[in-house]
Amino acid sequence: MTAVDDRSLAAAAGSGDAVAFAALVEAHAGRLHRWLVATGTGHHDAEDVVQEAFLRAHAAIDRYDPRWAFTTWLFTIAHRVRRDLAARRRPHTSLDSCQIAAPPAEEDVVPAGGLWARARSILNSDEYRALWLRYAEDMEPAEVARVIGINPIAARVRLHRARRRLEHALRADPAFTTAEALS
Amino acid sequence: MSDLTSRLRSEASTISQTAGPDLVTRICAAVPAHRVRTVDCLGLPWPRLLAAAAAVLAVASGSIWLFQAGGSPEQVAAPTAAVMRIPAAPALDDLLAPARTAMPAPGVPGEIAALQADLAMMARTVRGAIPF
């Protein structure tokens, strides 16, 4: 589904079209869930976050700014919902720079031994989430910045650092310097 | 290593979506039941406040009219005294009670952490709006 489709569906949903909103849910719930799980949220919590994000989006659909992609707005809401959930669960833990722990193998969506699993083990949570939004969700740096609540320049810097750290780690790792890994 | 971007993208495209089959159904079922919250500024009883303000305005304009029409001070004071007996102007404590109960209770770590996280986010947003 294109961003233009999303915007027209969001406009329709804003005027009370439940079918249009259901189409948005159908199109994006899976992607949103994948992002949450891949970046450290358990399956069940991720489902709750997705549901809450859509409910908040529905309640505030008339405040959606069509200058931004619907997915950017939706991911921004989900990021806040997840942050609030994490804050309630772990009130004394800093959430900004900790590393994302790999979930149990049966819940992990990121293939073990792959590039994303490697990135998760190297980068901190902020870098990993930014990297995922940029390359797995194909968001522009400005959109990444909006989702995670930083300014666009900071987002570019964070992405640059993440890439550089990942590249250095891969160069130093013989397993990743094989022809297959670098092809 | 120049193709790191394309490798990240191609590997991400192979990661399947993980939501349970009933998630979409669950969300769609929840949406109609989800009440759209109205804005409740400060949690104050605005209808009562407006009614009280309207009553005061009505009495004030009525008193002015009475005075201009040649009414005695006693005649002017009568409606004012009457409206003062109407229990439409609640005590400040009563007005602020809903807002006070909506605040996080001091000493609850989760609430304080959530508040701190919100404030940190707000600070980042404000900082982000400054172009240098």
Residue B18 near residue A34 (C-beta atoms within 8 A): yes
> Does position B91 have pLDDT exceeding 90, yes or no?
no
Confidence of residue B85 (pLDDT cuts 50, 70, 90): low
Q: pLDDT at position B4, please?
A: 85
Question: Across the interface, which of B18, B32, B116 has its CB nearest the CB of A109?
Answer: B18
Please count the other Cβ atoms lying within 10 Å of the Cβ belonging to residue A152: 15
Interatomic CA distance for residues A36 and A57, integer angstroms: 17
pLDDT of A182 reads: 46
Of the candidates A21, A80, A115, the beta carbon closest to that of B7 is on: A115
CB contact (8 A) between residue A116 and residue B27 = no
Q: Is the pTM of this model over 0.90?
A: no
For chain B, the residues whose C-beta falls within 8 A of a C-beta of chain A are: 1, 3-5, 7-9, 11-12, 14-20, 23-24, 26-28, 30-32, 34, 36-37, 109-110, 112-114, 116-117, 121, 124-125, 127-129
Q: What is the ipTM of this complex?
A: 0.77
For residue B117, the chain A residues in CB contact (below 8 A) are 83-84, 87, 95
For range B20-28, the mean pLDDT: 85
Kindly report, residue by residue over B29-52, the tens digit of the pLDDT: 888 655 544 455 566 667 777 777
Q: What is the Rg, in whole angstroms, of the alpha carbon atoms belonging to chain B?
A: 29
Rounded to an integer, the average pLDDT of B16-27 is: 81
Q: Which residues of B touch A115 (CB under 8 A)?
A: 7-8, 11
**What is the number of CB-based contacts under 8 A between chain A and chain B?**
129
Query: Closest Cα of chain A to B42: distance in Å?
Result: 19
Say yes or no for a CB contact (<8 Å) between B110 and A109: no
Confidence of residue B2 (pLDDT cuts 50, 70, 90): low
DSSP state of A138: -
Contact A51 B27 (CB under 8 A): yes
Output the DSSP codes for chain B.
-TTHHHHHHHHHHTSPP---TTHHHHHHHHHHHSPPPPP-GGG--HHHHHHHHHHHHHHHHHHHHHHHTT--HHHHHHHHHHHHHSTTS--HHHHHHHHHHHSPPTT-HHHHHHHHHHHHHHHHHHHHHS--
Distance CA B79, CA B61 (A): 11
CA dist., res. A87 & res. B115, Å (int): 9
CA distances from A134 to A72, A127, A139, A153, B91 (A): 11, 10, 5, 14, 54
A171 touches chain B (CB under 8 A): yes
- Of B24, B114, B128, nearest to A150 by CB-CB distance is B128
Full pLDDT tens readout for chain A, 183 residues: 566 688 899 988 888 888 899 999 999 999 999 999 888 888 888 999 999 999 999 988 888 888 889 999 999 999 999 988 888 876 555 555 566 666 666 666 777 778 888 888 889 888 999 999 999 999 999 999 999 999 999 999 999 999 999 988 888 876 665 544 444
Asked whether residue B23 carries a pLDDT value surpassing 70, the answer given is: yes
Contacts of A71 (CB under 8 A, 6+ apart): A3, A6, A28, A31, A137, A139
- Average pLDDT of the residues in B97-111: 57
Q: Which helix (H) or strand (E) holds A123?
A: none
Q: State the pLDDT at residue A180.
A: 46
- The confidence score (pLDDT) of residue A92 equals 54
Residues from chain A contacting residue B110 (CB–CB below 8 Å): 87-88, 91
Please tell me the predicted confidence (pLDDT) of residue B57: 79
CA distances from B50 to A147, B40, B41, B59, B99 (A): 40, 14, 14, 14, 17
